[in-house]
C-alpha cells in the first residue's frame, strides 16, 4: 500500500478491531479502509 492514508475516527477503529478479533482477514480489512495492516495491529 502506498500514498496517503485516510483518517479513521474512533468508532471506525473500534469496529475494525472487533472485526479483527472475530477472525476477519487483517489484510482485507486494511485494504477495505485504505490503511496499512501495521496500523491495525498498532491500534490493537
- The residue assigned the cell 485516510 is 6
Q: Rounded to whole angstroms, how far apart are CA atoms 8 and 13?
A: 6
Our CA angle for 9, 13, 16, nearest 5°, is 140
Res 1: pLDDT: 46
Q: Residue 4 class from Cβ within 10 Å (0-12 exposed, 13-18 middle, 19+ buried)?
A: exposed
Res 28: pLDDT: 96
Q: Within a 13 Å sphere around the CA of 19, how many CA atoms are in the beta-carbon half?
A: 16
Res 26: pLDDT: 96
Res 38: pLDDT: 95
Locate 31 and state its grid cell: 485494504
Res 3: pLDDT: 52
pLDDT tens, position by position, 1-44: 455 556 889 999 999 999 999 999 999 999 999 999 999 999 99
Amino acid at each position: 500500500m502506498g500514498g496517503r492514508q485516510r483518517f479513521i475516527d474512533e468508532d471506525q477503529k473500534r469496529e475494525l478491531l472487533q472485526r479483527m478479533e472475530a477472525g476477519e482477514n487483517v489484510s482485507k480489512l486494511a485494504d477495505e479502509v485504505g490503511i496499512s495492516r501495521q496500523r491495525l495491529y498498532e491500534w490493537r
